[in-house]
Amino acid sequence: MAQLILFVCTGNVFRSMAAEYALRAQQGKPSTYHIESAGIDAKSPKVHPVILNRLRLKGTDPSAHVPRPLTKELIQRSTLIIAMGLDHREFIQTKFGLTVPLFNEVAFGEDSPILDLHEALPNWERDVVEAREYVESVIDHIWDSIPALRARLSLFSEPQNSR
Cα atoms in the 13 Å half-sphere on the side-chain side of 125: 0
Instruction: For residue range 33-70, list pLDDT tens digits in order.
Output: 899 999 999 887 788 999 999 999 999 999 999 999 99
pLDDT at 93: 97
| Alpha-carbon separation of residue 111 from 8, 84, 102 (angstroms) | 16, 11, 7
Q: What is the pTM of this model?
A: 0.93
| Nearest CA-CA partner of 33 in 94, 139, 106, 135 | 106
Could you tell me the residue ranges of all domains in the chain?
A: 3-157
Q: Which CATH number fits domain 3-157: 3.40.640.10, 2.60.120.10, 3.40.50.280, 3.40.50.2300?
A: 3.40.50.2300
Quick: pLDDT tens for 4-34: 999 999 999 999 999 999 999 998 777 778 9
pLDDT at residue 163 tops 60: no
The answer to whether 43 touches 11, Cβ cutoff 8 Å, is: yes
161: pLDDT strictly greater than 80: no
Give the mean pLDDT of 137-161: 86
CB atoms within 10 A of CB 58: 18
Identity of the residue numbered 44: S
